[in-house]
Amino acid sequence: MDAIDVHHHFYPPQFQALANAWQAKHGLPNAGGRVGSWTPEATLADMDAAGTGTAILSLSSPEGVWFDAEPAAIPQIARACNDYAAAMIRTHPGRFGLFACLPMPDVEASLNEIAYAFDVLHADGIGMPTSFGDVWPGTPRFAPVFTELNRRKAIVLFHPYAPNCCGRDSLDDGLGEWILEYPYDTGRCILSLLFGGTLLTNRDIRFVFCHGGGAIPVLAGRIERLAPILQKNYAEVTPNGLDFELCRLYYDTANAAYGPTMAALMKLVSTSQILFGTDYPYVTSKDNADSLGSIGLAPPDLTAIRRGNAERLIPRLHDHAR
C-alpha cells in the first residue's frame, strides 16, 4: 500500500506572498525552485512519483514569527491558510489531510482556531513551530492551548525553526540556520515541553517531532546524566524516568532516513513511534522514500513506518488505502 507522509508542506498564495515580502525586507531573493513554484498539482505529481497515497499538509515555520505581521492580522492569516488546505482536501478526496496552523503565540486566538480547525474543518491535528521568536511551547502562558488540545486528544506536530538568538539575522557565519539550528531547536522544544510540565500534564496529546527528533536521539544520554543534577524539577516532571517520556513521543523520518541517524533514533524508541515524512518541497518525496528503503530496515518495520503507524494515529486513513 502507498505511504502516508505526515510532514508535507503547502504554500497558500497569502503565505507565499508574506514570505517573499519578508525575504525582500531582509535583502533576500524570493523563494525559488519547488518552493517558489509550488502548486497542488505539483505536490500530487511528487506524491505519485514516490508512491505516497496521502500527505498530511502543514505549514513550514514562518520566518520572524508570522513574517513580523501585525498581531491583529495573524489570526486572519492562519485562518486563510487552514481554509486553503481544507479546499485541497475537498478537491482531492483521500489524498490530503491537515495539521492546522494556529496564530501562536496569541493564546486566545489559538483557542478559537483550534475549535474551528477540529469542529468545522475536521483537521487531523495541529502543526506549530518549535519556537516563537524567543519563547518556547513549554512556557506556562501556553498551558490553556495544550489543555484544550489534550481535551481533544489531538495530534500536535512541531516543525523546527531558528529562534531569535540563532537565526539568519543574528548569525553571520555563512551557514544556513536550517543545517544546525533547526534540529537544535527541536531539542530545545522537547525539553521545554518536558521541563515545563506540558508532557506530564497532557498525556492524551500525541506529540510528533520532525526530522527524527533533531538532536534528541544523540543527546538523550547527556540529558539523562546531567538533568537530574542540574534541573531542579527533574524528578517531578519525569516520575517514570526520561526514557519513558522520550519513548512515548513520535518522530518523523524527513531528512533523517540516513543509516546512523535512524540507528540512533531506533535505539531510543520503538519502531511504532516512527512516521514517514518528506519535508516536501524542500526535498522530494521520492528522495526520502528511497533513502528510507535503502538503510536495511526489516520489511515489517518499513511497512509500519511507511503507513501502519500513521494509520494507527489517524484511523480514518484506513479508508483511503491505495
Sign (positive or negative) of CA dihedral 169, 170, 171, 172: positive
CA distance 34 to 53: 20
Each of the 322 residues of the chain gets a pLDDT tens digit; together they read 699 999 999 999 999 999 999 889 888 888 889 998 999 999 999 999 999 999 999 999 988 889 999 999 999 999 999 999 999 999 999 999 999 999 999 999 999 999 999 999 999 999 999 999 889 999 999 999 999 999 999 999 999 987 656 555 555 656 666 677 878 899 999 999 999 999 999 999 999 999 999 999 999 999 999 999 999 999 999 999 999 999 999 999 999 999 999 999 999 999 999 999 999 999 999 999 999 999 999 999 999 999 999 999 999 998 655 4
**Taken in order 114, 117, 118, 120, is the CA torsion positive or negative?**
positive
What cell numbers appear for 40 in the block?
A: 497542488
Helix (H) or strand (E) holding 133: none
Cβ burial of 2 (10 Å; 0-12, 13-18, 19+) is middle
Alpha carbons 240 and 51: distance in angstroms, whole number: 40
Q: How many CA atoms lie within 13 A of 209 on its CB side?
A: 29
DSSP 209-262: ESGGGTTHHHHHHHHHHHHHHH-TTHHHH-TT-HHHHHHTSEEE-TTT-SHHHH
**pLDDT for the residue 168:** 53
According to the model, what pLDDT value does residue 319 have?
A: 67
The Cα angle at residue 82 between residues 81 and 88, in degrees rounded to 5: 95
Between the alpha carbon of residue 257 and those of residues 87, 230, 261, 279, 315, the distances in Å are 31, 33, 7, 12, 25
Q: Which domains does the chain have, with CATH numbers?
A: 3-316 (3.20.20.140)
Q: Output the pLDDT for position 179.
A: 74
pLDDT of residue 183: 81
Query: Which helix (H) or strand (E) is 167 found in, with range?
Result: none
CB atoms within 10 A of CB 152: 17
